[in-house]
Amino acid sequence: MNATFANLAAAHRSRAREFGPRVALRYKRDGIYHDLTWRDYRDLADAVAAELIGFGVEPGDRIAIFSENRFEWLVADLAILSTGAADVPLHASLAAPQAEYQLAHSGSRGVVVGGREQFDKVVSSLDRLPDLEWIIIFDHLDRPIAGDLSVHTWDGVERRGRDALPRFYGDIHAREAALDRSSIATVIYTSGTTGPPKGVVLTHGNLLSNAEGTLEAKGVEEDDILLNWLPFSHIYARTVDHYLPMLAGATVALAESVDTVIENLSEVAPTWMASVPRLYEKIWNGVVESSFDERRARLKKLFGPRLRGLSSGGAPLPRFVDEGFAAAEVPIYEGYGLTESSPVITFNTPGNARHGTVGKAIPGVEIKIAADGEILTKGPHVMLGYWKDPDATRETIVDGWLRTGDVGEIDADGFLTITDRKKDIIITSGGKNVAPGEIERLLTSDPYIDQAVVHGDGRPFLTALIVPNPDATRRKANELGCALDPRGDFIESPPLNAFFADRVERLMRTVSPPERVKAFLLLNRPFSVDSGELTPTLKLRRGRIVDEYRSELDVLYAER
């Protein structure tokens, strides 16, 4: 990639001209994969852009996309950008009040929804969304009524847009020509692990520079095939599975859902796939008890013969998973970033990776460690600011340096290691600072433990909520000759609790006494997005989880 583009729409248009009949996107419908060429991809985006201009969309407007992943999501994104507007991606799983907040706070004039579920959530909030004027629906719905709002089908928008394109083609090109790297491309809301979500304002330059730097580090080429399953409403997938392959001219194949990733891997045989650690952990737990040779064979068969590498981000990758995949010659390259940095800051790359770290800064990105250990970053990837929140912007960006809120170390070779979230640090009643993420990663390194949340702020010692690996725990229960004995959310089988107590005690011998978990509760269900315990990108909402089980955790302290 030699060209430098002024904006994302220009980059896509250039790639469509260059690659024309080659396959840009693959998506599954009615049980089979369909191909969309670069030429058709661009033509479809232009048709939708023409209809949006016909709706009265102006440069600088905000248009929301509230849908699960599908190829139309990507077309809508590029169409919105070609009008000069900015899009506001909403996670498809948001509850109605959450969607209402983001639509209202962003002042979105229109919203593109996936289907009935998202449509009904928007309609339930119409009287509190004064800026909203119209809705476009990807799916065909019976009687989609939305009060005074105009409702349009995606097929109708495409058809009318093609007819109107000759009239608006010049306008589209003029609007694209007016965009530069300082123009706003998106307002994307943080997951809200603490407090209400903030609208992160990212420019065309933020996203382009980050895709360019990651592409240079990663080395994706035009004959690569990337399998996507992470939500495009999250900045990680949007940059590495949308804009990066766009710049490379590579093909993106869309998985149907997180539940079909394994099946889609065998159908697509990708060269690259990006994921959060949770998927890799689940796959590892399914093969860990196999012999080394069998484990290696199963992993290589699962990811296919063309795989060049896997990417991991969004949360810490357990060291044992990283090293286990590497030993099986299925490499995972861990990176680090956040929404406010577009998102990639550092990345382990082929030929330049170090286990236990999140890699080196990608080209164009600076990093340093503040006096209190916080990771700071500077460069063209740093957000413009928070939407309608200048105070938070000033607190987060100081002298051009973005305060990440994460604590870490940079070694002599430039590799970054994350130790914890600054705001998640636990201070025990004895004054000991404990990084809960480190203890949680230690706990989940055990094959019998899938998830863990550590608690103990202001307390004399640490406690934990532990989610066991269900298959391994059932086998152990059979071996011990006992039942799981679930009581509400908890497993209260004395033999199993004793078994886990022994494993936890052995794990805790590797840390100092104040950092040791001394009591725990076994849960009989995983933390989930639907329950609000995980963000849509599968990060733990520690505060919510602890509040949910606070009374049970209090008992652990009362008993000692």
Q: What is the pLDDT of residue 130?
A: 93
Question: Which residues does 293 contact at the CB level (< 8 Å), separation at least 6?
Answer: none
Do residues 215 and 247 lie in contact, with contact meaning Cβ atoms separated by under 8 Å? yes
If asked whether residues 395 and 432 sit together in one domain, one would say no
pLDDT tens column, 473-483: 999 999 999 98
Question: How far out from the chain centre does Cα 60 lie?
Answer: 26
If asked whether residues 462 and 535 sit together in one domain, one would say yes
If asked whether residues 57 and 171 sit together in one domain, one would say yes
What is the C-alpha to C-alpha distance for residues 238 and 477, in angstroms, rounded to an integer? 43
Please, where are the H alpha helices in 446-516? 470-480, 494-508
Type of residue at 412: A
Q: What is the pLDDT of residue 42?
A: 98
Question: Which residues does 395 contact at the CB level (< 8 Å), separation at least 6?
Answer: 403
3 in any annotated domain: no
Q: What is the pLDDT of residue 144?
A: 80
φ, ψ for residue 409, nearest 5 deg? -140, 145
Q: What is the pLDDT of residue 193?
A: 47
194 in any annotated domain: no
Two structure tokens written together for 476: 């152990």
If asked whether residues 446 and 352 sit together in one domain, one would say no
Q: What is the pLDDT of residue 283?
A: 93
If asked whether residues 225 and 336 sit together in one domain, one would say yes
Collapsed DSSP state (helix, strand, coil) of residue 272: strand
Q: What is the pLDDT of residue 542?
A: 86
What is the C-alpha to C-alpha distance for residues 345 and 367, in angstroms, rounded to an integer? 8
Two structure tokens written together for 266: 């065998």
CATH code assigned at 478: 3.30.300.30
If asked whether residues 93 and 111 sit together in one domain, one would say yes
If asked whether residues 26 and 150 sit together in one domain, one would say yes
Do residues 227 and 255 lie in contact, with contact meaning Cβ atoms separated by under 8 Å? yes
pLDDT tens column, 407-466: 899 999 999 999 877 777 787 766 677 878 889 989 999 999 999 999 998 788 999 999
187 in any annotated domain: no
546 in any annotated domain: yes
Q: What is the pTM of this model?
A: 0.83
What is the C-alpha to C-alpha distance for residues 41 and 18, in angstroms, rounded to an integer? 13
Q: Which of 422, 450, 472 is the last residue of a domain?
A: 422
Query: Residue 369, class by beta-carbon neighbours within 10 Å (0-12 exposed, 13-18 middle, 19+ buried)?
Result: middle
Do residues 541 and 532 lie in contact, with contact meaning Cβ atoms separated by under 8 Å? yes
2 in any annotated domain: no
What is the C-alpha to C-alpha distance for residues 318 and 186, in angstroms, rounded to an integer? 32
If asked whether residues 310 and 457 sit together in one domain, one would say no
Q: What is the pLDDT of residue 460?
A: 84
pLDDT tens column, 339-358: 999 999 999 999 899 999 99
Two structure tokens written together for 117: 């579920």
If asked whether residues 133 and 147 sit together in one domain, one would say yes
101 in any annotated domain: yes
If asked whether residues 229 and 350 sit together in one domain, one would say yes
467 in any annotated domain: yes
How many structural domains is the chain composed of? Answer: 3
If asked whether residues 335 and 433 sit together in one domain, one would say no
Type of residue at 70: R
Question: Which residues does 499 contact at the CB level (< 8 Å), separation at least 6?
Answer: 476, 480
What is the C-alpha to C-alpha distance for residues 362 and 210, in angstroms, rounded to an integer? 8
pLDDT tens column, 199-240: 999 999 999 999 999 999 999 999 999 999 999 999 999 999
If asked whether residues 391 and 465 sit together in one domain, one would say no
CA dihedral 313, 103, 208, 12 (to 10 degrees): 110
Which segments in the chain show pLDDT lower than 50?
Answer: 1, 193-194
The residue segments making up the domain with residue 493 are 425-558
Two structure tokens written together for 460: 């004399």
CATH code assigned at 246: 3.40.50.12780
What is the C-alpha to C-alpha distance for residues 523 and 452, in angstroms, rounded to an integer? 10
Q: Which of 405, 422, 439 is the last residue of a domain?
A: 422
What is the C-alpha to C-alpha distance for residues 447 and 458, in angstroms, rounded to an integer? 30
Instruction: Report the chain's C-alpha Rg in angstroms.
Output: 24
153 in any annotated domain: yes
Q: Which of 360, 391, 422 is the last residue of a domain?
A: 422
